[in-house]
């Protein structure tokens, strides 16, 4: 399905054309129709499928029809991490380039000047606020945030926010916004706690489920069956014999990330750590150095498994087996992006064998097992049916066309978005997909008005 089949304004379609967006991904094709109709929605789709555009495009198009005349925030997008807030804000700048829609990213780790800028924009009423729950609550408690004009409330990566303990913060923010609103919830997984949250804050939602994709065929997957004590030496051997640049190593805990980074640095590898104990400024500096090639190996917790926009990762190493099959897909999906090839290696210790067996069941085929070099000694036998050792078991991995036609709006001469302003947009294999069959609901969209182009607008 194509974007120009939706009832989007010419202004928005021109921005999409400049960004070379033509075909919708499945989540976009199935979610945008119900959103344009004014329905609440709960959507399950993994990272990298284009879900950010699935909710941003219809929302900014609807907001642009009615200028912000009361100076209030009109849309709140909740996200789990600073990095994702920044990434969504960049995408929003590109999508709304020709539209009179303002935006603001609110997250921690800033200096006093940035905090003051956030205060000023919130007082004036940015159209769209993209925020982490804790930082938005900090502003709300200071008494100058008015959320009484919020029309759209969006939860992106809702499962991740609940995993990070933001449930109470989310409900405090919900209490500040009107009950008469449109709520959109997007999640990579759909555990019971997400379903319970949906029952609490959504009203008669349309449901969109995009099955978790199998890993990209361009990813060469393999595994080493090892004793825990063999991992560090084997990791350094891997760097010496395969890739040693543009590598992400995922570990299961912040403490292990710190220890492993220290080991690699002692061995003269250019390594850095990424975890939630680092403040925002430090995390931004690490990512900048990694993108610039000043850091070759990034050792990280799952904070980096979603919402990272780096296309040329050569190898991903699962130093520890992830808890869920979906997390495995998210992790190794950091490589082989943008039609590149990549390598994914997993170290499977005895206690993680059952968990890795469940991942293989999810994938539908066994992952190739590599022989451990003789100098490291023999590894354990691979018997995933025996269950995890040393810890409790893991359960493993668990829209369409509006029908109203094109808005009748005159085209205007305008310049294309500058290359430097073009956002890093989620990429997924473009796939045409029929719109979801959703019952006709009461249309929330109001009568469209002719729109003037005000040029790009950002809150200062």
CATH number for position 371: 3.40.50.300
For the cut 50, the answer to whether the pLDDT of residue 393 exceeds it is: no
Q: What's the whole-number mean pLDDT along residues 442-456?
A: 39
Which residues, in sequence order, are bridge partners of residue 225? 348
Q: Residues 336, 342: contact at Cβ < 8 Å?
A: yes
Pick from 194, 122, 191: nearest CA to 155? 194
| 252 belongs to a structural domain | yes
Task: Return the pLDDT at 404.
Answer: 40
Q: What is the mean pLDDT of the chain?
A: 83
* Percentage of the residues of the chain whose pLDDT score is greater than 90: 59
Please give the span between the terminal C-alpha atoms of the chain, in angstroms, as a whole number: 37
Q: Structurally, how many domains does the chain consist of?
A: 2
Please tell me the distance from the alpha carbon of residue 362 to that of residue 397, in angstroms, as a whole number: 7
Q: What's the whole-number mean pLDDT along residues 335-357?
A: 91
> pLDDT digit string (tens) for 110-129?
667 888 888 988 988 889 99
Q: What's the whole-number mean pLDDT along residues 365-379?
A: 95
Q: Residues 393, 321: contact at Cβ < 8 Å?
A: no
The encoded tokens of residue 207 equal 């449901």
273 and 252 part of one domain: yes
- CA 44 to chain CA centroid, Å, is 12
380 and 316 part of one domain: yes
Place of tokens 């930082």: 135
Q: What's the whole-number mean pLDDT along residues 148-155?
A: 96
pLDDT band at 452 (very low <50, low <70, confident <90, very high): very low
Q: What's the whole-number mean pLDDT along residues 256-267?
A: 95
User: Coil, strand, or helix at residue 354?
Assistant: helix
For the cut 90, the answer to whether the pLDDT of residue 422 exceeds it is: no
156 and 282 part of one domain: no
Which residues, in sequence order, are bridge partners of residue 130? 77, 105
67 and 37 part of one domain: yes
For the cut 80, the answer to whether the pLDDT of residue 2 exceeds it is: yes
Please tell me the distance from the alpha carbon of residue 431 to that of residue 451, in angstroms, as a whole number: 31
Q: Residues 59, 154: contact at Cβ < 8 Å?
A: yes
Q: Residues 358, 391: contact at Cβ < 8 Å?
A: no
Q: Residues 295, 286: contact at Cβ < 8 Å?
A: yes
| 228 belongs to a structural domain | yes
Pick from 1, 5, 37: nearest CA to 405? 5
The encoded tokens of residue 459 equal 């809150």
Residue 70's H or E segment, with its range, is: none
Pick from 23, 94, 87, 64: nearest CA to 310? 87
| 427 belongs to a structural domain | no
290 and 346 part of one domain: yes
pLDDT band at 414 (very low <50, low <70, confident <90, very high): low
| 80 belongs to a structural domain | yes
Please tell me the distance from the alpha carbon of residue 371 to that of residue 364, in angstroms, as a whole number: 22
Please tell me the distance from the alpha carbon of residue 156 to that of residue 173, in angstroms, as a whole number: 15
19 and 78 part of one domain: yes
Residues in Cβ contact with 309 at an 8 Å cutoff, skipping those fewer than 6 apart: 87, 424
Range of the domain at 133: 3-190+399-421
44 and 66 part of one domain: yes
226 and 117 part of one domain: no
> pLDDT digit string (tens) for 35-93?
999 999 999 987 767 899 999 999 999 999 988 878 899 999 999 988 889 889 999 99
| 435 belongs to a structural domain | no
More confident of the two residues 335 and 439: 335
11 and 50 part of one domain: yes
| 328 belongs to a structural domain | yes
27 and 164 part of one domain: yes
228 and 139 part of one domain: no
| 113 belongs to a structural domain | yes
258 and 371 part of one domain: yes
Q: Residues 142, 71: contact at Cβ < 8 Å?
A: no
| 62 belongs to a structural domain | yes
């Amino acid at each position: 399905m194509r974007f120009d089949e939706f009832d989007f304004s010419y202004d928005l379609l021109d921005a999409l054309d400049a960004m070379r967006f033509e075909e919708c991904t499945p989540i976009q094709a199935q979610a945008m129709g119900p959103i344009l109709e004014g329905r609440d929605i709960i959507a399950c789709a993994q990272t990298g499928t284009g879900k950010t555009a699935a909710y941003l495009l219809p929302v900014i198009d609807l907001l642009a029809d009615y200028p912000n005349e009361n100076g209030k925030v009109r849309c709140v997008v909740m996200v789990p991490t600073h990095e994702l807030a920044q990434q969504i804000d960049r995408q929003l700048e590109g999508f709304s380039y020709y539209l009179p829609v303002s935006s603001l990213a609110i997250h921690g780790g800033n200096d006093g000047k940035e905090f003051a800028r956030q205060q000023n924009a919130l007082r004036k009423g940015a159209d769209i606020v993209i925020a982490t729950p804790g930082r938005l609550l900090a502003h709300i408690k200071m008494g100058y945030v008015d959320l009484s004009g919020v029309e759209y409330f969006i939860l992106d990566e809702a499962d991740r926010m609940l995993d990070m303990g933001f449930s109470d913060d989310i409900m405090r923010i919900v209490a500040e916004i009107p009950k008469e609103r449109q709520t959109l919830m997007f999640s990579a997984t759909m555990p019971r706690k997400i379903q319970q949250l949906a029952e609490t804050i959504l009203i008669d939602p349309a449901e969109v489920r995009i099955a978790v994709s199998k890993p990209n065929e361009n990813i060469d997957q393999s595994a080493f069956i090892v004793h825990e004590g063999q991992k560090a030496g084997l990791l350094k051997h891997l760097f010496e014999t395969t890739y040693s640049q543009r590598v992400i190593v995922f570990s299961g805990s912040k403490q292990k990330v710190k220890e492993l980074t220290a080991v690699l640095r002692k061995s003269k590898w250019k390594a850095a750590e990424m975890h939630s104990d680092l403040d925002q400024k430090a995390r931004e500096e690490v990512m900048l150095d990694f993108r610039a090639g000043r850091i070759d190996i990034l050792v990280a917790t799952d904070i980096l498994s979603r919402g990272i926009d780096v296309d040329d990762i050569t190898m991903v190493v699962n130093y520890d087996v992830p808890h869920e099959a979906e997390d495995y897909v998210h992790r190794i999906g950091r490589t082989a992006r943008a039609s590149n090839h990549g390598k994914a290696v997993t170290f499977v210790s005895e206690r993680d064998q059952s968990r890795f067996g469940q991942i293989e069941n999810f994938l539908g085929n066994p992952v190739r097992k590599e022989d451990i070099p003789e100098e490291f000694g023999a590894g354990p036998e691979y018997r995933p049916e025996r269950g995890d050792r040393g810890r409790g078991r893991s359960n493993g991995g668990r829209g369409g066309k509006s029908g109203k036609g094109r808005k009748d709006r005159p085209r205007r001469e305008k310049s294309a978005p500058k290359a430097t302003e073009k956002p890093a947009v989620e990429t997924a294999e473009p796939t045409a997909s029929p719109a979801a069959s959703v019952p006709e609901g009461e249309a929330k969209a109001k009568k469209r008005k002719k729109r003037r182009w005000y040029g790009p607008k950002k809150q200062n």
